[in-house]
Amino acid sequence: MAKTGVFEGDEAMVNKATELKKELQRLVKAIVEDDDELFSLEAIDQANQMLCALKDLKLRRSLCFNLTHQEKNDENDESLVCLPQEFKCPISKKLMFDPVLVATGQTYDRPYIQRWLKSGNRTCPETQQVLSHTIVTPNNLIRDMISKWCKSRGIQLPDSNQNSDEDGLTKSDRDLFISLLEKMSSSLSDQKKAARELRLLTKRTPSFRALFGESVDAIPQLLNPLSQNKSKSENHLDLQEDLITTVLNLSIHDNNKKLVAETPMVIPLLLDALRSGTIETRSNAAAALFTLSALDSNKALIGKSGALKPLIQLLEDGHPLAMKDVASAIFNLCILHENKLRAVRDGAVRVILEKLLNRVRVDELLAILAMLSTNQRAVEELGELEGVSCLLSIIRENSCPRNTENCVAILHTICFNDRTKWREIREEENKHSTISQVVLNGTSRAKRKASGILERINRAMNITHTA
């Protein structure tokens, strides 16, 4: 059987190395083939992270091999002492490379306890006690003891400053992270520089997003400049943009969604950003709300905060850069029934119809309108605002089956709740056979809804003629 190099015999390391190599190949290809200098610089940074992670794997495997080799070949050597129990991580049962203390005072190897915490666990694996916080601190005493033990046996222990954890982060990366957060309480100039760097780091390095989940104080520290300074002067718009964009980057990380949304200052600052700042800030605030609303509990929290009104206002403003993000956020939030009521109350129907008349973001806005049309007040507004003619015109012009289906579904609801619109639909049918065409060519759902419309209208017209 062919050998797999230093990773042979450790399936987990082999798999991890394979993933890293594939990602490295992709990045190298992007660097070589892409003419965009800025993208190449970003790809180079990511490739460097992959190389550091590969180096760490090799060092770990090499050390494990040395330990195993010594134990197998020196079993009768009385001078060789077996690996002390206190040097083993309670989770991995292996020699600790970066021992850290948790709130209970227990020591673990950093990558393994971080993996435990990132999985949502809030207890100490050894004692099962609930952790008062999830911050880990280096256990320098154990680290020094392990270092001396390895040195006496001719085993090289990786330098903690170079040793990266399972996410590819080094100690210097973590020190940088702490330093940048501390600058958020410094001068305005330092705040701006640190905010820009954190924005870039959380964009291109997923591991930095995860770091914010390790301390309950990290996000408040990040947003300290916005909570302390309520000024909207031009001097602070760039700082606001960088910090709100960083919140968006953090929200992408699944394990952060609950933490970010439930940090008290976050949603109010996102709503403030929706109303002010650069258009990129407003767009990214909407995108952050969309990303956070992936969790049902967050949908309720965001809806109760009053987010729909500024989102609808941003939709009405109609800036092309923000339209997709704001429509996505409104759609996601309105999956929750209570948020549908809020959206209708805050004027969503009128704004959406105005955009549809101008054929702006038709796909997304029709999907939202179809959801809102289950609300009686929304149906009444559609009738008052000439929504029927708008929907019929979209069906005539449209070639997208999904859009046709949404239009017909909305018309079906109107037809069954507002008989004053029957004549308009009947006249449309006599002139263009719009609904009949859907019966012939639409999706199965659209055909069913269209048939229901025709049946209701024809029955009503027959009753009228008979009378």
User: What residues contact 16, with CB distance under 8 A and at least 6 apart?
Assistant: 57
All residues at 6 or more sequence positions from 124 whose CB lies less than 8 Å from its CB, including other chains? 102, 103, 104, 106, 131
Helix ranges (DSSP H) in 34-88? 37-73
pLDDT of 245? 97
Q: Cα–Cα distance between 67 and 150 in angstroms, integer?
A: 9
Nearest to 236 by CA among 275, 285, 192: 192
C-alpha 241: how far from chain center: 18
Query: Is the Cβ–Cβ distance between 391 and 407 less than 8 Å?
Result: yes
Beta bridge partners of 109: 99
Rounded CA separation 199/186 (Å): 18
Cα 269 from Cα 266, distance rounded (Å): 5
Q: How many CB atoms lie within 10 A of CB 156?
A: 11
- Which residues are bridge partners to 99 per DSSP? 109
Q: Is the pTM of this model over 0.95?
A: no
What is the residue whose two structure tokens read 């997003």? Answer: 209
Q: Which helix (H) or strand (E) holds 198?
A: helix 188-204
At 123, is the secondary structure helix, strand, or coil?
strand
The structure tokens listed for 313 are 């206002």
Instruction: Answer for the pair 299, 336: CB distance below 8 angstroms, yes or no.
Output: yes
Residue 105 burial (CB count, 10 A): 11
DSSP string, 243-273: HHHHHHHHHHSGGGHHHHHHSTTHHHHHHHH
386's tokens: 């000439």
Return d(Cα 5, Cα 444) in angstroms, integer. 57
Q: What is the per-residue pLDDT for 205?
A: 79
Which string of DSSP letters, residue by residue, matches 369-393? HHHHTTSHHHHHHHHHTTHHHHHHH
37 Cβ contact partners less than 8 Å away, ≥ 6 residues apart? none
Look up residue 301 and give its two tokens. Answer: 């929290």
Report the alpha-carbon distance of residue 182 to residue 275 in Å, rounded: 28
Distance of alpha carbon 381 from alpha carbon 378, whole angstroms: 5
DSSP 101: E
Cα Dmax for the chain: 110
Q: Residue 25, SS3?
A: helix
Task: Write down the residue that tokens 């990303």 correspond to.
Answer: 291
CA dihedral 286, 290, 295, 298 (to 10 degrees): 20
CA–CA separation, 88 and 247 (whole Å): 37
Blockwise average pLDDT, block size 10, the chain, 467 residues: 38 69 77 57 67 62 50 42 82 88 89 81 87 78 88 69 55 86 94 94 84 88 85 71 96 90 96 94 97 95 97 96 95 96 97 96 96 94 94 92 95 90 90 94 94 87 49
Residue 159 CB-density burial (10 A; 0-12 exposed, 13-18 middle, 19+ buried): exposed
